[in-house]
Amino acid sequence: MRPEQARVQRARAAEGSPGFWYLFAVVVLRPLLIVCTRQEWRGWEHIPESGGAVVVSNHISHVDPLTFTHFVYESGRLPRFLAKASLFRVPFVRTVLRGAEQIPVYRESESAAQAYSAAVDAVRRGKLVAIYPEATLTRDPDLWPMVGKTGAARVALETGAPVIPVAQWGAHRVLPPYSKLPRLFPRHTVHVHAGPPVDLTDLQGRPIDAELLREGTARIMAAVTGLLQEIRGQRALTTRRTA
């Protein structure tokens, strides 16, 4: 058995059973992703085999939560996403998402803090929580990451969990941003690369205030952008667009 295969098996064993609805989603969606995309993946070794962690990524297409999940799932871990609350209002989708322990985000409401609390609780229970720091599809015309929100940094600093940066490229060719018509053929290559944990050690143990969160978020977004630059072979603009 190759070391990579052994690593995935150890991670799956540590995760335990994903449950019926998680397996249901895997059985339905995984074959579609394999058929409709080519996978160019790197960096599984940076995703912890067990224990709580935060994994973050850029957001370029409404289909990239699926390609992001596919990448993390095949590494042996089961990502729990912070997902838009509107998805939880769709009857069958709500059942699948709740059954798979995904976390609804109620933006600009009295319930907004519930997502943060649920994410912190999940990480402390040893789960891997997936967060899009931009909180929306990028509006940068060249699809570079925008200024990030502070949620991922807050969860990491509150729990002491590692933050694993991930960059994606190619999902926007399957489903362009804000488009409803997918382009499935010819198959497009989806690049997903994970990097080493973002270094937040000097920020740990300090009072969590706005300045600390901005610094942690800036480091997270710099790590994601750096990975994306490597995939694209280009340099990002020095000034980030705001959401």
* CATH at 146: 3.40.1130.10
pLDDT in tens, 141-193: 999 999 999 999 999 999 999 999 999 999 999 999 988 888 988 899 999 99
Report d(CA 75, CA 2) in Å as an integer.
14
Asked whether the beta carbons of 240 and 146 are under 8 A apart, the reply is: yes
Residue 242 lies in a domain: no
111 — pLDDT class (breaks 50, 70, 90)? low
Q: What is the pLDDT of residue 109?
A: 56
Residue 123 lies in a domain: yes
Residue 240 lies in a domain: no
Asked whether the beta carbons of 191 and 170 are under 8 A apart, the reply is: yes
Q: What number of other Cβ atoms are within 10 A of residue 17's Cβ? A: 9
Helix axes 210-232, 151-159, angle to 10 degrees: 110
Structural domain boundaries enclosing 213: 3-232
Total domains in the chain come to: 1
Report d(CA 211, CA 110) in Å as an integer.
24
Residue 18 lies in a domain: yes
Q: What are the C-alpha distances in Å from 183 to residues 2, 34, 144, 172, 226?
A: 35, 15, 21, 9, 28
Q: What is the pTM of this model?
A: 0.93
**Amino acid (1-letter code) at residue 219:** R
Residue 237 lies in a domain: no
Residue 125 lies in a domain: yes
**Amino acid (1-letter code) at residue 121:** D
Q: What is the pLDDT of residue 110?
A: 58
Q: Longest Cα pair distance anywhere in the chain, in angstroms?
A: 51
